[in-house]
Amino acid sequence: MYDSYGIFTTDGGTVAGTLHDEYAVNLAERLDESTASLYISTKNGILLLGTAVNVQKKGRRPDTFIYLEKTGFNGGLLPRIDLSYIHEFYARVQHKLSLIEYEVRDLASDHGFFDDRKSKVVTGLSGYDAADYTVGRLILGRDTVCVSDDLSKSVDFVVAVAEKLHSYLPAGFTIAVSKMTFKDADLNVAEKYSGRVDIDLKTEKTDSSETGRLYRSMGTFAQSPVVRRKLSGITSRGDLALRIISEFKGSSRFPKEKSAVFEKFLSDERIGATDSLADFSSSAYEPQVKNDFNVPAESDYGKWKINELDRESLKNEYEEHMARKKKGRVRLLAVLGIFLILLAGLLIFFVMSPGNSGDEPPAVTTITPSATITPEESTVIITRLSTAPGNVPEGLIGFGSAYEIRVFGPQNIVVNNTAEYKPDKSYRLMRYNESGQIWDYAGIPLSVSDESAEVFIADSGIYRLFSDGIFGADEEV
């Protein structure tokens, strides 16, 4: 639940909402200048989401508005920034603008994004190497610039990175998808860039040198559940970089005989150097103020207070949420009721069938290729497959059984482990693409233990956990 929001014109005028201080106004102007499709900032205990959208009011000419949303998480939990969360954010943008009688035509940088998303024509990523490489760069304090002319793919990419960074986001990161580069973003995906580009998302190829392999290794190492638990909650980029390096050196997966190579990598990339620690901090923005605003520091931004308008807005949002939740439960119960009625009809048909009359029922041979796991909730059906589909991705090892998981909506579920859990390994959730007969990346398990694994499932399908090492056969230090 967000704390407050603001809707602004391209010249900094406030249209609606309770978020209208000078900092927010100036940030809105910068988002307009870069034509930002998605802005995410987690500095100083504040989650900021923003976007520039094309709008039109009936009887008026089209216009561009900037929408900003603030959520305080200092001392609390940061929301998991996945695709569902971002889709809900865009839905709130459309809803808030509809309240002031404006229709959102589309994002300012694209003319088909919303239609594509509604039609589920989403350009997904072909792999996870680019995201792991980016995570490695970001946790070590290095900014990353990507180029892409496919907005849907750009959003998918930055959300994949944000999801992998979830435990470390309180350290303060800025991520932007924009038409032109957004200054001071730690991760920026733009349509074009004249300077040094780290990744072209059209190919998703990353640096194949020893330096690139080390960044990918650090990215996968940071996603280990053990490492995430140890370093979760760090609020300084500098501390995060130094701690992740220390944990990596002390890991059993670190090849001690090649420590000199790793030290050279740190030196050449200037990672952990004293004069580069400023790059890791929550540095103040350097906005070009049009109206001589006295822009407050980011440290002041986390001191906002919730006023009566905020409280009323939160109350209304909560009531709307509970109403939607109640309707969803009613629909689910109705579907389950119909299913039980149909099942009862089938049972009665076979019991009353003349072919089954007599003193003894005929022998029936039952083949059980899988074991069904009864879920705790009625919104999911989990079936453990006796044989997992093939085509194991290169560099990965299947962990336990594959599951056919049927969900009635995106949710977290728990499956039983059928293999030995090793805390020093990284685990990934993959979904089987039956049309291409390959495994697609579906996220990182929320938790893994000796008995079970908790995962987030957005759509029904066949899923399996895979594990990998810090250094694969082709990724030596």
Rounded-to-integer distance, Cα 21 and Cα 285, Å: 15
Two structure tokens written together for 74: 């200092």
pLDDT value for 160: 93
The answer to whether 255 and 477 have CB atoms below 8 angstroms apart is: yes
The answer to whether 165 and 173 have CB atoms below 8 angstroms apart is: yes
Rounded-to-integer distance, Cα 172 and Cα 42, Å: 5
CB within 8 Å of 29: residues ≥ 6 apart: 8, 10, 11, 12, 66, 287, 288, 290
pLDDT value for 469: 58
Average pLDDT of span 305-332: 58
The answer to whether 181 and 145 have CB atoms below 8 angstroms apart is: yes
Beta strands per DSSP E along 36-184:
36-41, 46-57, 63-72, 102-107, 144-147, 174-178
Place 138 in a pLDDT band, splitting at 50, 70 and 90: very high
The answer to whether 39 and 8 have CB atoms below 8 angstroms apart is: no
pLDDT value for 130: 93
The answer to whether 304 and 21 have CB atoms below 8 angstroms apart is: yes
Q: What is the rounded average pLDDT for all residues in the chain?
A: 79
**pLDDT tens string 173-188:** 999 999 999 988 999 9
Question: How far out from the chain centre does Cα 240 lie?
Answer: 20
**pLDDT tens string 11-49:** 889 999 999 888 899 999 999 999 999 999 999 889 999
pLDDT value for 286: 33
pLDDT value for 304: 42
In degrees and rounded to multiples of 5, residue 353 shows phi and psi of -60, 130
Place 369 in a pLDDT band, splitting at 50, 70 and 90: very low
Higher pLDDT, 452 or 353: 452
The answer on pLDDT for 64 being more than 90 is yes
Burial class of residue 1, CB neighbours in 10 A (0-12, 13-18, 19+): exposed
Rounded-to-integer distance, Cα 28 and Cα 14, Å: 10
Higher pLDDT, 377 or 257: 257
The answer on pLDDT for 163 being more than 70 is yes
Higher pLDDT, 34 or 110: 34
Rounded-to-integer distance, Cα 397 and Cα 359, Å: 53
Of 5-19, 56-70, 150-164, 415-429, which range is least confident? 415-429
